[in-house]
Amino acid sequence: MYHWDTRWQQVKPAWGLVCLDAAIPKCAAMFVHLRRWSRTGYNMRMPKSPRYTAAHASAGLDHKFPEIETWPNQFPGYEIVIDDPEFTSVCPKTGLPDFGKIEIRYVPDRLCLELKSLKEYLQSYRNLGIFQENIVNQVLQDVVRCSKPVWAEVKGDFRPRGGISTVVIARWPRPKKAGGWES
């Protein structure tokens, strides 16, 4: 609990306060008081508010995104893969930037996505506070709404923050579940 500080020739408690030799019992009493206060103190008596609210969960979903333009498909039965390796957005809780790679895969039916408008659409997320899971599902929803593909998949591979990376994959048509949902 105490250690000898050779620089100051004093006994120091482990928590960093300076104690002189004669004051060791006094510091020990202070340590017990601080330890007791930290367990039953101010923070322990306050009711805890939820860390994430419904406002956090739905942040960014009501944003007015630019329209994704399309052009008429000329050939049936092929797959298109579009990759945005420098995708950025903002965490709605912390305000810190999120970096990732967005990959859109789809088989066009009658319409194909126009790439310049898709680029502008994806760049509209740059300063938007929105969760990574919501990004992937929103992009899928907008791609399906604009191009009406045979099938589509959006994959978001987000860089680590706090040591954890996230990969989110959303597919259309959504699988039907017994009590689930389909969009």
Residues identified as active-site: 91, 98
Distance (Å, whole) CA 129 – CA 173: 27
Using the structure block, give the residue that is written with the tokens 């630019």: 66
Per the listing, tokens 């589509």 go with 152
Helical segments of the chain, H only = 24-40, 42-45, 54-57, 115-123, 132-147
- Collapsing DSSP to helix, strand or coil, 47 comes out as coil
Alpha-carbon distance 46 to 43, whole Å?
5
**CA–CA separation, 36 and 164 (whole Å):** 34
DSSP E strand stretches across the chain: 2-5, 10-13, 70-72, 80-90, 97-107, 111-113, 151-161, 164-172
